[in-house]
Amino acid sequence: MLTRRSLLATPLLAAQITATRFQMAAMTLPWSAFPLERALSGIRSSGFRQVAWGVNHKDRNGNNKPVLALDATAVEAANLASECRALDLDPVMMFSTINLEAAGALDAHRRRIDQAAAARIPFLLTFGKTEASARDTFIRNLEGLAPYAQQSGVMVVIKQHGGNTATGRQCARIVEQVAHPSIRICYDAGNVLDYENQDPITDIQTCWQHIRAFNIKDHRNTPRDEDCGPGFGEIDHYKLFAPVLRTGLTIPLTFENIFEPLVPRPTDPAQIDQLALRARQYIETVIRGLQS
């Protein structure tokens, strides 16, 4: 009779049981110069099955409009999620759009958690400047959010964004200080290389146990200091994902930057669709190779 213990005694089967399930989720952010509806159709045509809601999009009149306003109701959030799922796109992450140390951040994040719960979105992405003078507020707000997030079935993930959150090591210290299962890290390797000029391959070793999501972007220091799409920069994604291959978790990879370095960004949304397709295929190739 096969038991869990006997299965785990077989290395291959044990690896299959504990393998990480990676979700390919395109952020709407690269299409922010176009209406949200165009972003969603482009994401779907690029072969993605998951989506992460960005911040603002131009409407048909050229005005900036939030994907989901901070004061939007839970019903509005659920309706937007339904529109995504009708396109066979499952929303897995949304932005808080307010820094954790900002005035009113605690109440604003609770409203975002309510929206995420109504939309059945598992991850709320947030960050802050977190300079030394703001760190205590940052921590206090995370501590205040954690039980509410857990009750709502939402995980709050912080990412590297300068100041006291510039690296994974610094984010790990914050997560460990808050010490709650609903507060974790969304790892942004591009920001680690960009903001601090530190090697994310070394940095991720200090925090991988706390990672529950990734923001996918690459970065180049030469010939110009510039963020870019995965595979166009200096980050080795094979080495980046290696520490989290056997977590047993479902980890979304949210594609924030898919653009080519050095050249102007496309003004034709069809070209952005093609870049999204290339980015997805590149990361899928990396994951497929590592998991083989």
Question: Greater confidence, 150 or 128?
Answer: 150
Euclidean distance between CA atoms 94 and 91, whole angstroms: 8
Residues 6+ apart with CB under 8 A from 1: none
Say what the pLDDT of residue 16 is.
52
Q: What's the pTM value of the predicted model, to 2 decimals?
A: 0.92
Euclidean distance between CA atoms 126 and 244, whole angstroms: 21
Say what the pLDDT of residue 133 is.
78
Compute the average pLDDT of residues 57-63.
91
> DSSP for 249-281?
SEEEEEE---PPSSSPPPSSHHHHHHHHHHHHH
**Residue whose token pair is 């180049």:** 220
Which domains, ranges and CATH numbers included, belong to the chain?
A: 22-291 (3.20.20.150)
Pairing state of beta strands 21-27 and 50-53? parallel
Compute the average pLDDT of residues 226-252.
97
- pLDDT above 90 for 21: yes
- pLDDT above 90 for 261: yes
Euclidean distance between CA atoms 43 and 27, whole angstroms: 8
Q: How confident is the model at residue 129 (pLDDT cuts 50, 70, 90)?
A: confident
Sign of the alpha-carbon dihedral angle for 211, 125, 57, 265: negative
Mean pLDDT score of the chain = 93
**Least confident stretch, 76-85, 98-107, 179-188:** 98-107
- pLDDT above 80 for 156: yes
**Least confident stretch, 13-17, 150-154, 198-202:** 13-17
* φ, ψ for residue 43, nearest 5 deg: -65, -45
Compute the average pLDDT of residues 86-100.
97
Euclidean distance between CA atoms 121 and 8, whole angstroms: 32
Say what the pLDDT of residue 120 is.
98
63-88 residue pLDDT tens: 999 999 999 999 999 999 999 999 99
Sign of the alpha-carbon dihedral angle for 191, 114, 250, 26: negative
33-57 residue pLDDT tens: 999 999 999 999 999 999 999 999 9
Say what the pLDDT of residue 17 is.
64
- pLDDT above 60 for 4: no
Q: How many residues does the chain have?
A: 292
- Rg for the chain, CA atoms, rounded: 19
Euclidean distance between CA atoms 127 and 138, whole angstroms: 9
Q: Based on the number of CB atoms within 10 Å of its own CB, is 6 exposed (0-12), middle (13-18) or buried (19 or more)?
A: exposed
Compute the average pLDDT of residues 92-97.
97
Secondary structure of residue 143 in the 3-state scheme: helix
103-128 residue pLDDT tens: 999 999 999 999 999 999 999 999 98
> DSSP for 49-73?
SEEEE-SEEE-TTS-EEESS-TT--
Q: Based on the number of CB atoms within 10 Å of its own CB, is 88 exposed (0-12), middle (13-18) or buried (19 or more)?
A: exposed
Q: Based on the number of CB atoms within 10 Å of its own CB, is 264 exposed (0-12), middle (13-18) or buried (19 or more)?
A: exposed
Q: How confident is the model at residue 60 (pLDDT cuts 50, 70, 90)?
A: confident
Compute the average pLDDT of residues 126-153.
91
- pLDDT above 60 for 203: yes
